[in-house]
Amino acid sequence: MNTKYPHLLSPARIGKVELRNKTVMAAMGMSQADNGFVNTAVLNHYAERAKGGVGAIIVEVTCVDAPLGLNTKGMLVIDDDKYIPGMTQLADVIHEGGSKAFLQISHTGRGARRAIIGDQPVGPSAIAMPYSFMMGLANETPRELTVSEIKAIEEKYAQAALRAKKAGFDGVEIHAVGYYLGQQFLSSAANKRTDEYGGSRENRIRFHLNIIKRIRELCGDDFAILVKLSVIEMGKDAGISMIDGVYYCKKLQEAGVDAIEVLAGKWSSEAGKREAPESAYPDCMAVALCQVMKTGIFLTTGKPKTVPLIGGGRAQNPVAAEKALASGQCDLIFIGHALLAQPDLVNLIAQGREDEIRPCIGCGHCIDHQLQHGMRAVCSGNAVLARGDNDYTIVPAEVKKKVVVIGGGVAGVEAARIAAKRGHDVTLYEASNEIGGQMNLACLPPYKQHLGLMKPYLERQLQLCGVKVVLGKRVTKEDVLAMNADAVVCATGVIPTALRVDGAERAIGANDVLNGAVTGKNVVVIGGGSIGCETAEFLARQGKKVAIVEMLDSLAANTGKTAQTVLLGHLKGLGVKMLTQCRVRSINNDSVVYVDKNGNKRELIADTVVVAIGNKPDAALYESLKDCVSEIYNIGDSNGGGIIPNAVYDGYTVGNKI
């Protein structure tokens, strides 16, 4: 065991359940079930994390009342005994990997969408869900539940817990965070009832206390009950204060829950000027809430808290996690997205191999793909996540080949890594003096620092896998043919799209700006995609007066909804002028002429004009070689690429195909 982390890696208990260490995999929806049933993809996903060393796994949000309580079409369900056989298999594979198994049980309430459930959502009160960063939208007004319906749902939770016990789970977690029904009852903004379930804090938590009592009756004291709790809501639609949170923790402790996972909730249609996206979240950001709850319980009861508190929030950094535990801020550490990116994270920490950990870069695609696009989760680093059956097996190549990879972006590195792991002799050529490709540019704007964590990981992987790396070499067709390679992978990236307007030669590229080019006081950015908007923020934070001109009707449309909301909030707060449905006609010495959506000619003062209208694939090398090399592939941005997860998946797939 790595002695640097004695608290993190020491055994722990949740109720009567013993854990091998103090790490807990947080429940994260993957949306990969088949009509609510556990399938091979679900089994492999959790088996890999259990084998990876985590102490306990809280299986993703699982519906107790389908279809009314569904979140996505791929959500797990446990509202009927027919789901028990699959859940038994799931509990078994988690236990076989050495982890304890808990099932998160939930109802989506007013957060459910008619397109998924086929009906009007329900909630504590007929109050529409406000804008949620994760959902990317506000929702329709729900139908208010009757008291008899609430009691029926309470029983559904309890029966779901009983099914989980029959399936072999060690306990359940009641979901009371985010836009789910559990939080809705606790929030005075969502719950305006005047009966036994609303009004006072005591009434708002009645729903949860009734469920806990009934689960104990059905499942006994040896079956653990956890609660995932929002101890505060933030934003203009907030309805849970910190005082409420302390009260709820105290009441849950009195009710005999075995642990509370502590989080915060947020509702806002706009992000503030200083709010950070996930790509800039601090390590263990939610741990401080545990300390507040711990102090609050002591101040209100006169006694130290007895219920274990689980803290985390970007807890992939073992140094920060160890500090949180050693200082007594929390009792266990929950780890979320980091375990999606690196399934064996805890084993790597225990073995002292922290430099091999694939980082979560905070891109948010795992959330966006599910909630905005109705698909399975994906990851910008882990190509296997929720793809196919989640099979992490890398099969050795039957015939070892000489492989040349051209391009050191994420697609090229992944192809080289996998091909080398399979036994091929791999050489990677990169035209610049560093690997990383577009990632090196993407991490330069404000709040994108976690993207920079990927580069040292890529460098270390190439080293570990024995890939020969040649930097500063722009490979030609003749070079490749002279190499006599058995397989060639082209991952040559992109080239900027040319701006075809009068005076275009006066403009500079967004890349130049992010790399330190001098700009004037008044800057016009042409192009309002993610790079254009991020460049505009970069300039506005230097005190520049910035305007964005975009031909489409929205800005940063190619960015995940959560990150887009934060980015646009920053631009608004910084006073950036945002012009959509506008076309630039010319660039003059001191101005930009454009036509607005109504056909009116307008002019903007501009000391500097920045072009950020996107890139196009640089497939020239591939096109020149495709008829000359028997086994050749074109991947990543040079093949249309798009978002990072697609580029990484391209590389992974080709690396396994050679």
Q: Which of 327, 324, 312 is nearest to 281 (CA)?
A: 312
Q: Could you give all domains of the chain from N- to C-terminal order, each with its CATH number?
A: 12-371 (3.20.20.70), 402-496+616-657 (3.40.50.720), 504-613 (3.50.50.60)
Sole residue written with tokens 């800039």: 280
Q: Which of 110, 106, 129 is nearest to 121 (CA)?
A: 110
Contact, 312 vs 58, CB < 8 A? no
Beta-bridge partner residues of 179: none
Contacts of 232 (CB under 8 A, 6+ apart): 238, 240, 241, 242, 244, 245, 264, 265, 289
Contact, 652 vs 418, CB < 8 A? yes
Question: In this predicted model, which residue has the larger pLDDT, 61 or 373?
Answer: 61
Three-class HEC string of 202-239: HHHCHHHHHHHHHHHHHHCCCCEEEEEEEEEEECCCCC
| Rounded distance between C-alpha atoms, residue 329 and residue 144, angstroms | 39
pLDDT of residue 45: 97
Query: How confident is the model over 455-480, as pLDDT tens digits?
Result: 999 999 999 999 999 999 999 999 99
The type of residue at 393 is T
For 102, 458, 534, the CA distances from 312, given in Å and listed in that order, are 18, 26, 28
Mean pLDDT, range 498-515, rounded to an integer? 94
Percent of the chain with pLDDT over 70: 98
pLDDT above 80 (res 344) = yes
Question: What is the pLDDT confidence band of residue 178, given thresholds at 50, 70 and 90?
Answer: confident
Mean pLDDT, range 200-216, rounded to an integer? 98
| Rounded distance between C-alpha atoms, residue 283 and residue 277, angstroms | 13
**3-class secondary structure, 654:** helix
CA angle, 433 as apex, 427 and 438 as ends, to 5°?
90
Write phi, then psi, for 294 (nearest 5 degrees).
-60, -45
Q: Which helix (H) or strand (E) holds 19?
A: strand 17-19
Query: For residue 233, how far is the Cα from the chain centroid?
Result: 20
Catalytic residue numbers, as ranges = 180
Contact, 105 vs 215, CB < 8 A? no
* Tokens, residue 411: 């697609």
Q: Which of 93, 214, 224 is nearest to 165 (CA)?
A: 224
pLDDT of residue 269: 62
Lowest mean pLDDT among 156-160, 253-257, 294-298, 496-500: 496-500
Contact, 371 vs 134, CB < 8 A? yes
Query: How confident is the model over 597-640, as pLDDT tens digits?
Result: 999 999 999 999 999 998 999 999 999 999 999 999 999 999 98
pLDDT of residue 130: 84
Contact, 261 vs 245, CB < 8 A? no
Sole residue written with tokens 């109720």: 15
| Rounded distance between C-alpha atoms, residue 182 and residue 64, angstroms | 12
Mean pLDDT, range 68-93, rounded to an integer? 97
**3-class secondary structure, 130:** coil
pLDDT of residue 272: 67
**3-class secondary structure, 36:** coil
**3-class secondary structure, 144:** strand
Rama region for 473: left / alpha / beta (φ>0; ψ in -120 to 50; rest): beta
In residues, how long is the chain? 658
The number of beta carbons lying within 10 Å of the beta carbon of residue 574 is: 16
Q: Is the dihedral of CA 96, 97, 99, 101 positive or negative?
A: negative
Three-class HEC string of 449-484: HHHHHHHHHHHHHHHHCCCEEEECCCCCHHHHHHHC
pLDDT of residue 136: 62
For 122, 152, 478, 565, the CA distances from 529, given in Å and listed in that order, are 37, 48, 37, 13
Beta-bridge partner residues of 525: 548, 610
pLDDT above 90 (res 273) = no
The type of residue at 204 is R
Query: How confident is the model over 287-309, as pLDDT tens digits?
Result: 999 999 999 999 999 999 999 99
Q: What is the pTM of this model?
A: 0.95
pLDDT above 80 (res 137) = no
Strands 402-406 and 425-430: parallel
User: What is the DSSP secondary structure assignment for residue 378, as one 8-state letter?
Assistant: -
pLDDT of residue 527: 96
C-alpha torsion 539→541→542→547, nearest 10: 40
Question: What is the pLDDT confidence band of residue 280, given thresholds at 50, 70 and 90?
Answer: confident
Query: How confident is the model over 389-427, as pLDDT tens digits?
Result: 999 999 999 999 999 999 999 999 999 999 999 999 999
